[in-house]
Amino acid sequence: MSNPADAELQVRLRRAAFNRALAEGDLAAIAPLLSPDVVLITGSDSAVISGRKAQLAAWKRDFAQAPRAVYVRSTDSVIASAVEPIAMEHGRWSATVQESGEVTAAGTYAAKWRKIGNGWVLIAEIFLTLG
């Protein structure tokens, strides 16, 4: 169904694109990385953000904050299915104040991706705040 090595590379490239979009506050670049029914569970209060529109609205609010925190997800591993066009990403995340460089929160995450057409999109992300 899916070549696991290619899937891992594509997921890592999509994650890098997501990180760039977060750093630049670029909602238009984030949108195509999210499935229409994507789910995000936040790291501290376990709030559920359900759907692409809701997630884009949350990022828009976040980008307007002053001072602004920039979130970075650092991929540790990607496990791709050989029987379905899906992959699971595990890694670490951090939030850094753009102006000062101070890390204000950090933790771990897991993300599920699905290949739809020629591209990989996020289906779900769950975050755990550790510091």
How far apart CA 1 and CA 40 sit, in angstroms, is 26
CA torsion angle 40 18 89 112 (round to 10) = 40
CATH number of the domain within which 57 lies: 3.10.450.50
Number of domains in the chain: 1
pTM (global) more than 0.85: yes
Domain coverage including residue 75: 4-129
**Tens-digit pLDDT profile for the chain (131 aa)?**
568 789 999 999 999 999 999 999 999 999 999 999 999 999 999 999 999 999 999 999 999 999 999 999 999 999 999 999 999 999 999 999 999 999 999 999 999 999 999 899 999 999 999 99
